[in-house]
Amino acid sequence: MIAIIDYRAGNLTSVQRALNHLGWESVVTHDYSAVVGAERIIFPGVGAAGKAMHNLRESGLDRALVEAYQKGTPILGICLGTQIITDWSEENNTECLGLIRGRVRRFPARLSDRAGNSLKVPHMGWNGVELNRSHPLFDGLIPESEFYFVHAYYPEPEDPGEILGITRYGIPFASVLARRNLVAVQFHLEKSGRPGLGILSNFCKWDG
């Protein structure tokens, strides 16, 4: 069974609907035992880091995620779920889970594209990902694939080797992280059409 973590951070129904479309059973849960005992875990999220971490600690799901990660359960982070796997976030000055060493930064106030045109923050829209290396979750996807982003913050891991993919929006930033049995994407898989479904499908078959 795939556990979709419910920590009151939104987008859970969309993720479960995408899994149903792919033919995979899942459960939306905030139960510690269900998360620790799951075959795979999806850690989605929309919202602010401070509130998200408060909800995780209140329910004990912070400990459940760490325990599942340490025992090798495949985990997929999405958007906010990608940011709060790091040590600390600038958003709300928040201490996070620390599954990947590093921090989360806000985009600079002034951003521009290569032509000098101003870019808005939050970053909203379709962008590509430049992979640094191959990974089973991206099997079958063409390099030109684009994904849907909505965010004002991005992860910055201490170890560059944990950056699987980079996206450019005024600046290059880490949009995919990977470490052992954990992969996390800054974009929304459930809103990214066929490429997003492709990654979800690969995750459901990945053994970590």
CATH number, domain at 93? 3.40.50.880
CA 157 from chain centre, in angstroms, equals 13
pTM for this predicted structure: 0.96
The reported pLDDT for the residue numbered 77 is 97
Active site residues: 79, 188, 190
Give which of 170, 190, 191 is closest to 203, Cα–Cα: 190
Q: Write the pLDDT tens digit of every residue in 83-126.
A: 999 999 999 999 999 999 999 999 998 899 888 899 999 999 99
Q: Write the pLDDT tens digit of every residue in 137-189.
A: 999 999 999 999 999 999 999 999 999 999 999 999 999 999 999 999 999 99
Range of the domain at 61: 2-205
- Cα 80 to Cα 171: distance, rounded to the nearest angstrom: 20
- Cα 6 to Cα 28: distance, rounded to the nearest angstrom: 6
Task: Quote the number of domains for the chain.
Answer: 1
Contact criterion met (CB below 8 Å) for 123 and 150: yes
pLDDT band at 9 (very low <50, low <70, confident <90, very high): confident
The reported pLDDT for the residue numbered 189 is 94
